[in-house]
Amino acid sequence: MSIEGAFGELAALRARPIGDLAAARAARRGFRTRIPIRRDNVLHAEQVVEARDVGLAGENFYASDRNPPYWQRAEGATDRLWLRAGVAERLGRVNARAATAGLELFLFDAWRPRSVQAYFHDVWMPNEIQRRNPALTGAALTEEVERYWSAPTDNPESPAPHETGAAVDLSLRWKGGDLLWMGSLFDDVTQLANRDRFENLDPGHFSFSDLEAQANRRLLHWLMVEEGFAGHPDEWWHFSWGDQMWAALSGEAQAHYGLAVIPE
């Protein structure tokens, strides 16, 4: 079977370059202090839904002990996948489009408890970075941590993206089957995770693995972006709609969602 036969009309998205992400990386800097959250709209108080209750597939990565590179359940992790209703609805439309090629979204994480955010931001990530580079300390260490892990906060004006219920970590898989190859582990918080990591492949070091990762990252990117989502430039799996990062990356003046209220 040809690529076109396997992916149908979605094959064109696998061939479409993601493009230069320099502007997105610049726009992301300081987004939590720069972008206000609009509260005088119905979206701000929108309820959350469990993603699997509305037809999405997934398993919370942090509630498992089969989750490299951690290999342990994060204390305080939830096995639920809470999303704002409007975000879940948009994901449903992405899913319907992916289904035309026998694919579906697979969620790793959605709303995230503050304790989990704090553990990875305050403990795991800085310890791992310093284990590999003991000379990295202070502001430089914090900057590297926060390239991937947002600081937890109780401040309703600057919530971590995953505390809003508007951010989601996901991939694509054959419906009910194997994940597509994206070139790295989920949560490989190194430059290998950069969304554009495989956009400029060296012809002198060709591999089918890299070419497949390039095509699949493009497919996921365009499926999500064409439904209005914005993607973290340094994490191929992270997308959001309506939060402060989405506003910063989309050129919007305000965000729709602040801290989410999670059912007891």
Here the tokens at position 46 are 């929108």
Contact (Cβ atoms closer than 8 angstroms) between residue 10 and residue 101 = yes
Q: Is 173 helix (H, G, I), strand (E, B) or coil?
A: strand
Q: Which helix (H) or strand (E) holds 3?
A: helix 3-7
Dist CA 225 CA 231 (whole Å): 7
Q: Give the HSE-up count for residue 71: Cα atoms under 13 Å, Cβ half-sphere.
A: 1
pLDDT at 3: 64
Dist CA 37 CA 196 (whole Å): 29
Is position 104 annotated as part of the catalytic site? no
Residue position matching structure tokens 């497919």 = 219
pLDDT at 264: 79
pLDDT at 2: 62
Compute mean pLDDT per 10 residues along the chain, 264 residues long, and list them: 80 97 96 95 95 98 96 95 98 98 98 94 93 92 90 91 97 98 96 96 93 98 98 98 98 97 91
What's the pTM? 0.94
pLDDT at 154: 82
Distance linking the first and last C-alpha atoms of the chain = 49
Please report, for the chain, the start and end positions of each structural domain, with discontinuous segments joined by +: 3-250
pLDDT at 153: 86
Q: What architecture is domain 3-250?
A: 2-Layer Sandwich (3.30)
pLDDT at 1: 56
Q: Give the HSE-up count for residue 12: Cα atoms under 13 Å, Cβ half-sphere.
A: 1
pLDDT at 5: 77
Q: Which helix (H) or strand (E) holds 168?
A: strand 167-174
pLDDT at 156: 92
Here the tokens at position 200 are 């400029």
**Catalytic pick from 59, 89, 235, 252?**
235
pLDDT at 7: 96
